[in-house]
Amino acid sequence: MLSSDINRYISLRRTLGYKLVRAERHLLAFARFAAERDESHIRTGTVLAWLPTAAKSPNAMAHRLTALIVFARFMQAEDPRHEIPPADIKRTTNRPVPYIYTADEITRLLDAAGNLRHQRPNPLRRKLYVMLFGLIASTGLRISEALALRLDDILHDGVLHIRETKFRKSRLVPMHATVMEALQRYLEARRQHAGESDWLFPSVEHRQLYPTTVNYTFRCILRRAGIAPERSQQPRIHDLRHTFATRVLEQCGAARGEVARHFVALSTYLGHVSIHNTYWYLQATPEMMTDIAAAAETLVGENAA
């Protein structure tokens, strides 16, 4: 059945650096659906029947369809009896528009974090969340990257070692001197409460913080700070990363070559595997989009030549 082919496919792609956690889950779910129909090959009709049962939103359907299309291409190269579903099936996506925080809103957010309710089991709570969200806002780290930091990932001269995140890529992230100073103050407070844990942001049990706990706390902080209460979709932690990228691009010069170099440097700093992934951050600054995208592509083309 398809499940053994999926395991082989996932193992092969992981050797190339892909994580494919969600893709593996989606593909195995489809394999179970196909097995119930006694099918050992990918059929477009089966895909059409499975998608509405597997996901309700257009975004979720698009993610599952994308995983299936790539897998189907892989399988058809070995066996032409596999069908490749057309890419336009339920393909509409509604990627959330990023919320760009103002400098005042970030200040209010960190102030609210510093005034969280005191919890006896977690005396480090206030300082931890101020440092966590401040670090993301000032470096553009992904929340998963920040939560995965350990003490030995803080290198000399104010540099963070981000280990094997998306596509198992590692990178070095320099910090501003003011961020490093704040981090040193946090580490001094942390030494009194974190026990033997080597996580930079430990949980009450001195383990890695759960993302669900962090997201819940962030929503509490947003309410306390009074940030965008009128929005149906509340700002996210990930929007701090969007804000960082947008502010960096806004500060680059107007000359085309200068803009392109800033853009390519930002793409590397953020850990994007392709410069095309960085284009998304330009949505918040549409007046810069055309020039920066064109200039960056030109520069990348010149460097590749």
Here the CATH number for the domain that contains residue 139 is 1.10.443.10
Tell me what the pLDDT averaged over the chain comes to: 84
Per-residue pLDDT for 161 more than 50? yes
Distance CA(169)–CA(223), nearest Å, equals 35
Does residue 19 have an active-site annotation? no
Distance of CA 211 to the CA centre of its chain: 12
Confidence (pTM): 0.64
Catalytic residue among 126, 142, 150, 161: 142
In a domain, 231, yes or no: no
Residues 209, 108: one domain?
Answer: yes
Does residue 156 have an active-site annotation? no
Does residue 142 have an active-site annotation? yes
Catalytic residue among 108, 241, 242, 262: 241
In a domain, 245, yes or no: no
In a domain, 29, yes or no: yes
In a domain, 82, yes or no: no
pLDDT of residue 195: 75
Does residue 186 have an active-site annotation? no
Residues 137, 192: one domain?
Answer: yes
Does residue 166 have an active-site annotation? yes
Distance CA(153)–CA(169), nearest Å, equals 15
Residues 54, 150: one domain?
Answer: no
* Number of domains comprising the chain: 3
Catalytic residue among 9, 129, 186, 281: 281
Does residue 26 have an active-site annotation? no
Catalytic residue among 193, 238, 247, 261: 238
- Does residue 237 or residue 62 have the better pLDDT? 237
In a domain, 98, yes or no: no
Domain, as residue range, for 54: 2-76
In a domain, 214, yes or no: yes
Residues 211, 297: one domain?
Answer: no
pLDDT in tens, 105-141: 999 999 999 999 888 788 899 999 999 999 999 999 9
User: What DSSP letter does each residue of 144-157 carry, written as one string?
Assistant: HHHHT-BGGGEETT
Residues 219, 172: one domain?
Answer: yes
Name the band, by pLDDT with cuts 50, 70 and 90, for residue 93. very low
Boundary-marking domain end, from 41, 61, 76: 76
Catalytic residue among 13, 43, 166, 171: 166
Residues 112, 166: one domain?
Answer: yes
Q: What is the DSSP pairing of strand 171-174 with strand 159-162? A: antiparallel
